[in-house]
């Protein structure tokens, strides 16, 4: 009844335990002031919930275009960028051609390929977490993948890959998706390339800038590609409340978002320094809103559990990278709580 493609899947892994300090999903720690909560309530109360939302999310698209200096015809909105990853994996070439991505990386690239029965062409990252270009090109030659995903910066490693390596893969005829989910924390973008080429698209999301609960992501691409993918989009993929609230955030609240992003970058650099000075911890540099670190004094599983007992939830990545855990950068007090708990746990080791 259920296909082997689907029954062989493992469900998406995420941390769901509740904790006093939640630093596990790379959300932005931001507290909405009461005046803005009231504005949201006011606008949401006007929604005719018996009606379908605008299938084209026109007003939200307008707000996204204006906010990020883009044109509406270059945008396709998704229920999170996750949905757009599905669309791209379905739309690019035929399913008998594979999907290439470096590992470790964001799991949805592999999951979407697997569901469709597409060959997963995984290329292990080098020790420094950059792309192994030689191996990539060898696999491009051998397996002829049609599509490649590069998270930029990469999740969970936090680095931006060498640009030339990405271009070398793309220039061998591989349709290339640059996933800029963490763009606001790196400041590095491929949007110009995406707008001028038919073999490169960029994914962005509002999830990492304070709106994860709304599920809004978008693709930036050349107009013709947007038109094609729009044909397969589920008709009402952005809910009415999401269209209304995301637009409000982008138009009336965005300076607060920008401030929170700025503070998060400062906190990331502080957290990096503090973690680097801890015995038993090796920290990897990050251009995102999270930091990956390796634990040498204590197995990652135990460290993760002990931190949770102290009320701090981070993400255990040891199933992907031995001994590694990833912590999202939070507010100043949240990061202090993590550092304090970590120090206490390591002392016990
Ligand atoms: N891409 C990357 C690299 C991510 O890390 C994530 C979220 N963890 C996503 C995409 C998915 O984002 P969204 O919430 O927009 O679906």
DSSP string, 31-83: ---HHHHHHHHHHHTT--TTSPPPTT-HHHHHHHHHHHT--GGGEEEESHHHH
pLDDT for res 11? 76
48 Cα: distance to centroid of ligand 1 (angstroms): 30
What is the rounded CA–CA span in Å between residue 173 and residue 141?
A: 11
* 50, 204 Cβ separation under 8 angstroms: no
- Which residues contact residue 292 at a Cβ distance below 8 angstroms, ignoring those fewer than 6 apart? 156, 157, 158, 283, 284, 286, 317, 321, 324, 325, 326
What is the rounded CA–CA span in Å between residue 272 and residue 287?
A: 11
- What is the distance, to the nearest Å, from the Cα of residue 194 to the centroid of all Cα atoms in its chain? 18
Walk along the chain (349 residues) and give the pLDDT tens digit of each residue.
899 888 888 877 777 778 999 999 999 999 899 999 999 999 999 999 999 999 999 999 999 999 999 999 999 999 999 999 999 999 999 999 999 999 999 999 999 999 999 999 999 999 999 999 999 999 999 999 999 999 999 999 999 999 999 999 999 999 999 999 999 999 999 999 999 999 999 999 999 999 999 999 999 999 999 999 999 999 999 999 999 999 999 999 999 999 999 999 999 999 999 999 999 999 999 999 999 999 999 999 999 999 999 999 999 999 999 999 999 999 999 999 999 999 999 998 7
- Which residues contact residue 34 at a Cβ distance below 8 angstroms, ignoring those fewer than 6 apart? none
* 118, 97 Cβ separation under 8 angstroms: yes
The domains found in the chain, sorted by start residue, are 4-31+255-348 (3.90.1150.10), 47-251 (3.40.640.10)
> Residue 278 in 3-state DSSP?
coil
Ligand 1 neighbour 242 (Cβ under 6 A): no
Name the residue of 129, 190, 202, 207 whose CB sits within 8 Å of the most ligand 1 atoms, as the mutation to test its pocket. 207
Task: List phi, psi (to 5°) of 255.
Answer: -65, -30
pLDDT for res 349? 79
Length of the chain: 349
What is the rounded CA–CA span in Å between residue 155 and residue 331?
A: 20
CA-closest residue to ligand 1 atom 13: 80
pLDDT for res 255? 96
Number of Cα atoms under 13 Å in the Cβ half of residue 302: 9
pLDDT for res 293? 98
pLDDT for res 326? 98
DSSP string, 285-296: --SSSEEEEEES
pLDDT for res 18? 86
Ligand 1 neighbour 26 (Cβ under 6 A): yes
Longest Cα separation, the chain: 59
Name the residue of 106, 161, 219 whose CB sits within 8 Å of the most ligand 1 atoms, as the mutation to test its pocket. 106
181 Cα: distance to centroid of ligand 1 (angstroms): 6
Rg of the Cα atoms in the chain: 21
347 Cα: distance to centroid of ligand 1 (angstroms): 34
pLDDT for res 212? 96
> Residue 184 in 3-state DSSP?
helix
pLDDT for res 238? 98
Ligand 1 neighbour 205 (Cβ under 6 A): yes
Q: Is the peptide bond before 84 cis (omega within 30 degrees of 0)?
A: no
Ligand 1 neighbour 83 (Cβ under 6 A): no
> Residue 200 in 3-state DSSP?
strand
Helix (H) or strand (E) holding 240: helix 240-252
Ligand 1 neighbour 181 (Cβ under 6 A): yes
pLDDT for res 10? 82
Number of Cα atoms under 13 Å in the Cβ half of residue 294: 9
């Amino acid at each position: 009844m259920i296909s082997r493609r689907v029954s062989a899947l493992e469900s998406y892994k995420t941390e769901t335990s509740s904790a006093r300090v939640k630093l596990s999903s790379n959300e932005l720690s931001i507290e909405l002031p009461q005046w803005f909560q009231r504005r949201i309530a006011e606008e949401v109360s006007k929604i005719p919930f018996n009606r379908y939302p605008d299938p084209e999310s026109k007003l939200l698209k307008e707000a996204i275009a204006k906010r990020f200096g883009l044109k509406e015809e270059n945008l396709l909105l998704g229920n999170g960028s996750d949905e757009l990853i599905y669309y791209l994996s379905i739309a690019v070439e035929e399913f008998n051609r594979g999907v290439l991505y470096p590992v470790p990386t964001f799991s949805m690239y592999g999951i979407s390929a697997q569901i469709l029965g597409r060959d997963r062409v995984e290329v292990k990252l080098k020790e420094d977490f950059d792309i192994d270009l030689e191996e990539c090109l060898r696999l491009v030659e051998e397996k002829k993948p049609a599509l490649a995903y590069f998270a930029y910066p990469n999740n969970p490693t936090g680095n931006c890959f060498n640009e030339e390596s990405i271009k070398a893969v793309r220039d061998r005829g591989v349709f290339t998706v640059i996933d800029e989910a963490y763009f606001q924390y790196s400041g590095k973008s491929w949007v110009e390339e995406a707008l001028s080429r038919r073999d490169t698209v960029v994914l962005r999301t509002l999830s990492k800038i304070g709106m994860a609960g709304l599920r809004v992501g978008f693709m930036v691409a050349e107009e013709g590609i947007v038109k094609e993918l729009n044909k397969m989009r589920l008709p009402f993929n952005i809910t009415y409340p999401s269209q209304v609230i995301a637009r409000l955030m982008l138009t009336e609240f965005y300076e607060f978002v920008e401030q929170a992003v700025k503070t998060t970058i400062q906190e990331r650099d502080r957290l990096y320094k503090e973690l680097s000075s801890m015995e038993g911890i090796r920290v990897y540099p990050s251009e995102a809103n999270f930091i990956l670190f390796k634990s040498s004094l204590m197995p990652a599983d135990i460290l993760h559990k002990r931190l949770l007992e102290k009320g701090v939830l981070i993400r255990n990545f040891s199933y992907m990278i031995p001994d590694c855990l990833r912590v999202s950068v939070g507010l100043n007090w949240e990061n202090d709580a993590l550092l304090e708990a970590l120090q206490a746990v390591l002392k016990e080791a």
